[in-house]
Structure 1
Amino acid sequence: MKQLPKNLRNNILEITTDMIKSLREETSAGVMDCKKALEEAKGDLSTAISLLRQKGIANVAKKTDRATNEGIIESYIHGNSKVGAMVELVCETDFVARMDEFKELAHNLAMQVAAMNPQYLDEDEIEDKSTNDDELLLMKQAFIKDSSKNISDLVTDLASKVGENIKVRRFSRFELGN
Structure 2
Amino acid sequence: MSVSIDQVKALRDETGVSIMVCRKALEEAQGDIEKAKVILRKHSKLAAEKKADRALSAGTIGVYVHAGGEVAAMVHLACETDFVAKNEVFQTLARDIAMHIAAMAPVAARREDVAQDERQAALAVFQEEAAGKPDDVREKVVNGKMDSWYRERVLLEQPFVKDESRTIGDLLNEATQKFGERIDAVAFKRFSVR
TM-score band w.r.t. shorter chain: 0.7 to 0.9
Deviation digits for residues 99-124 of structure 1 (CA, Å, limit 9, x no counterpart): 01111011111111111111111112
- Superposed, which structure 2 residues align to 1:101-116 within 5 Å? 101-116=89-104
Aligned counterpart, 1:96: 84
Structure 2: tracts of 5 or more residues without a match:
124-145
CA RMSD of aligned residues (A): 1.5
AA aligned to 1:155 is L
Q: Is the 8 A contact 1:60 1:163 kept in 2?
A: no
How far apart are residue 30 of structure 1 and its match?
2.3
How far apart are residue 28 of structure 1 and its match?
2.1
Q: Is the 8 A contact 1:87 1:109 kept in 2?
A: yes
Q: Is the 8 A contact 1:68 1:165 kept in 2?
A: yes
Of 170, 177, 180 in structure 2, the residue corresponding to residue 153 of structure 1 is: 170
How far apart are residue 22 of structure 1 and its match?
1.5
Hey, what's the Cα distance between the residues in 1 that align with 2:64 and 2:10?
33
Aligned counterpart, 1:34: 22
Hey, what's the Cα distance between the residues in 1 that align with 2:41 and 2:57?
26
Aligned counterpart, 1:172: 189
Aligned counterpart, 1:59: 47
- Superposed, which structure 2 residues align to 1:5-154 within 5 Å? 13-126=1-114, 127=116, 128=119, 130=123, 131-132=146-147, 133=149, 134-154=151-171
After the TM superposition, which parts of structure 1 deviate over 4 Å for at least 4 consecutive aligned residues? none
Q: Is the 8 A contact 1:85 1:111 kept in 2?
A: yes
Identity of aligned residues (%): 40
**Greater relative contact order (CA < 8 Å, ≥ 6 in sequence):** 2
Structure 1: tracts of 5 or more residues without a match:
1-12
Hey, what's the Cα distance between the residues in 2 that align with 1:39 and 1:112?
34
TM, length-normalised to structure 1: 0.86
Bigger radius of gyration: 1
TM, length-normalised to structure 2: 0.80
Deviation digits for residues 70-117 of structure 1 (CA, Å, limit 9, x no counterpart): 111222221121211111110000110000111101111111111111
Q: Is the 8 A contact 2:47 2:173 kept in 1?
A: no
> Against the structure 1 CA distance between its residues 73 and 41, is the aligned structure 2 distance closer, same or farther, given a 3 Å change threshold?
same
Q: Is the 8 A contact 2:152 2:158 kept in 1?
A: yes
How far apart are residue 43 of structure 1 and its match?
1.5
Larger helix proportion, structure 1 or 2?
2
